[in-house]
Amino acid sequence: MKQLVEDDDPAGLLASWLAGEPAPRRYGAAPFELLALASDSRLAVSGFSDPPSNLAVSDEVEAWVTASDLDAVTWEWMLEPEGRGNVRLHIAAEFANPVPWGRFLVDLAKHPGPREQHAVWRLVREVLQPRVVR
């Protein structure tokens, strides 16, 4: 943790640690469905969709879903595979809901946008830095 707190680019460092992870699958959904989709109990929001990020992203959803629920979720929400879709689903055999803080931070760090990168920097400074003994 000390390395993360002391790094000038904690988002880049986090992303590099888990660079081999599969990217989330991208789907397209009706924009008016996104808020309800994010509330689906089979999903656990993460990254920019998780409230601690303080990023008001209303036109996209990022979440975790189990492999066993993926087909049902995509069918019921009429999600269409799209390379630049507005829904990003991370697939796992199982996951915690809510997503653990470290996992949320990694998911957020993998977004190259300046808002997301700054949010990671801010969260590392606010949450981790006070816990790291120098």
Q: Tens of pLDDT along 39-86?
A: 999 999 999 999 889 886 789 999 999 999 999 999 999 999 998 999
Alpha-carbon dihedral angle through residues 60, 63, 66, 68, given to the nearest 10 degrees: -10
Cis-peptide into 98, omega within 30 deg: yes
- Read off the amino acid at residue 78: M
What pLDDT, in 10s, does the model give residues 34-45? 999 999 999 999
Beta pairing partners, 38? none
Beta pairing partners, 81? 27
pTM, two decimals, is: 0.87
- Read off the amino acid at residue 82: E
What pLDDT, in 10s, does the model give residues 85-121? 999 999 999 989 999 998 999 999 998 899 999 999 9
Count of domains in the chain?
1
Q: Among 29, 6, 24, 7, which residue's Cα sits nearest to residue 16?
A: 7
What is the span of the domain harbouring residue 52? 2-131
